[in-house]
């Protein structure tokens, strides 16, 4: 078992219209659709996965599509911001690109030595592009459209909002193995030891803020990596020993998962690297067709009839 969590695996949020979601994350951010499938608990709705060219953990943003659902509310007990890493020299490129494409983007700000571009997607989901103070050597391996020297590198991290800081910090450091990496005001940063680009976490303490409401435009859960099933089982044993209520392992086709709520109320998942997104279609064709779990294949005709068609757009210039 690793002495610490290796970093982010994926972040799952909720969108309204599936086509508008694809248009934004492919056409604007230049991500690849690495899997189009359905919500296993509600197979009449999409579950869309975006990531790098190979669908590697640490690059995967996923969405449950809830058409017609109301907007959620960001607040405590949630991951309130998802941050993607960009090269230090790309701040001007991305600021200009987002403005040109009509995205609700703010002027860059500085935070703990990083340059941060805050913006929201079409559903109001809070996002950031972060040019970190440390170099990010990850291969961009993204589809054509955004010049490779400016392409997103993967996740930079997530920001959690909690009404009490200490218990969340204790879980992150004592149990999951993150290390303190700076603070400013009511924001406290935690990083994966020795892996600055692996996806860390900022914790914002907001004792007087309202509780978040999970719906369109909010994050549903944050998933951390486990390299193997054995590592995941060891993490589960450690969490249970610490008094947390952890689900049994669940098969999600492309990874295996356990879930629990950290002390501040944020829903965490620990997901295995294997088997990966190429388990049911070759890497070069990831996301090209609707994939269903084996138990839903016999219902494919009904499932497809209930889903709106999707068009994968070109990346905007």
- The full DSSP string for 145-179 is TS-TTTS--EEEEEEEEES-HHHHHHIIIIIT--E
Structure tokens at 223: 């998933």
Cα atoms found within 13 Å of the Cα of residue 109, Cβ hemisphere only: 7
Q: From 50, 9, 16, 2, select the one nearest 218 (Cα to Cα).
A: 16
The answer to whether position 151 is within a domain reads yes
Strands 104-105 and 219-226: unpaired
- Compute the average pLDDT of residues 85-109: 96
The answer to whether position 230 is within a domain reads yes
The answer to whether position 311 is within a domain reads no
CB atoms within 10 A of CB 214: 18
- Compute the average pLDDT of residues 146-171: 94
Domain of residue 279, CATH code? 3.10.180.10
The answer to whether position 54 is within a domain reads yes
Is the predicted pLDDT of residue 317 greater than 70, yes or no? no
What pLDDT does residue 129 have? 98
- Compute the average pLDDT of residues 24-44: 94
Cα atoms found within 13 Å of the Cα of residue 222, Cβ hemisphere only: 27
What pLDDT does residue 197 have? 61
Q: What is the pTM of this model?
A: 0.96
What pLDDT does residue 130 have? 97
- E strands, 67-147, are 78-85, 104-105, 109-111, 114-120, 126-131
- Compute the average pLDDT of residues 9-32: 97
DSSP-derived 3-state class of residue 88: helix
Q: How far is CA 117 from CA 75, 89, 93, in A?
A: 21, 13, 11
What pLDDT does residue 314 have? 86
What pLDDT does residue 141 have? 76
Is the predicted pLDDT of residue 195 greater than 70, yes or no? no
β-sheet bridge partners, residue 312: none
Strands 126-131 and 114-120: antiparallel
Reported as a single tens digit per residue, the pLDDT across 219-260 is: 999 999 999 999 999 999 999 999 999 999 999 999 999 999
What pLDDT does residue 135 have? 76
Domain count of the fold of the chain: 1
- Compute the average pLDDT of residues 286-308: 95
CA angle 99-27-82, nearest 5°? 70
pLDDT band (50, 70, 90) for residue 87: very high
What pLDDT does residue 134 have? 80
Alpha helix (H) residue ranges in the chain: 18-22, 91-100, 165-170, 229-241, 294-297, 300-306
What residues have CB less than 8 Å from 77, skipping those under 6 apart? 161, 162, 163, 211, 212, 264, 265, 266
How confident is the prediction for the chain on average, in pLDDT?
A: 94
The answer to whether position 316 is within a domain reads no
CA distance 11 to 137: 21
What pLDDT does residue 41 have? 86
How much of the chain, in percent, has pLDDT values that exceed 90? 88
CA distance 169 to 173: 6
Range of the domain at 72: 8-306
Structure tokens at 65: 């599509």
- Compute the average pLDDT of residues 115-142: 90
Provide the sign of the torsion angle of the four alpha carbons 108, 109, 112, 118, taken in this order.
negative
The answer to whether position 2 is within a domain reads no
What pLDDT does residue 188 have? 97
CA distance 133 to 189: 14
Q: From 18, 72, 11, 69, select the one nearest 48 (Cα to Cα).
A: 18
- Compute the average pLDDT of residues 143-163: 91
The answer to whether position 198 is within a domain reads yes
The answer to whether position 312 is within a domain reads no
Residue with tokens 């969490």: 239
């Amino acid at each position: 078992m690793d002495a610490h969590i290796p970093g982010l695996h994926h972040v799952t949020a909720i969108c309204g219209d599936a086509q508008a979601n694809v248009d934004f994350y492919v056409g604007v951010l230049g991500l690849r659709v690495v899997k189009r499938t359905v919500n296993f608990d509600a197979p009449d709705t999409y579950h869309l996965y975006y990531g790098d060219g190979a669908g590697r953990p640490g690059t995967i943003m996923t969405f449950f599509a809830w058409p017609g659902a109301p907007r959620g509310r960001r607040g405590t007990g949630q991951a309130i911001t998802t941050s993607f890493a960009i090269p230090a020299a790309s701040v001007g490129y991305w600021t200009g690109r987002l403005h040109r494409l009509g995205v609700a983007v703010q002027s860059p700000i500085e935070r703990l030595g990083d340059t941060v571009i805050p913006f929201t997607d079409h559903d109001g989901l809070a996002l950031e592009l972060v040019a970190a103070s440390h170099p990010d050597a990850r291969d961009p391996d993204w589809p054509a459209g955004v010049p490779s020297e400016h392409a997103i590198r993967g996740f930079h991290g997530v920001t959690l909002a909690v009404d009490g800081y200490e218990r969340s910090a204790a879980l992150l450091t004592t149990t999951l193995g993150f290390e303190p990496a700076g603070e400013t005001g009511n924001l406290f940063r935690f990083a994966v030891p020795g892996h600055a680009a692996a996806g860390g976490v900022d914790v914002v303490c907001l004792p007087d803020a309202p509780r978040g409401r999970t719906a369109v435009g909010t994050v549903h859960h944050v998933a951390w990596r486990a390299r193997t099933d054995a590592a995941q089982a060891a993490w589960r044993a450690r969490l249970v020993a610490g008094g947390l209520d952890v689900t049994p392992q669940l098969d999600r086709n492309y990874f295996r998962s356990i879930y629990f709520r950290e002390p501040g109320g944020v829903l965490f998942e620990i997901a295995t690297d294997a088997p990966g997104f190429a388990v049911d279609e070759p890497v070069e064709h990831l996301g090209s067709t609707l994939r269903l779990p084996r138990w839903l294949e016999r219902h494919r005709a009904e499932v497809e009839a209930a889903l709106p068609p999707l068009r994968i757009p070109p990346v905007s210039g």
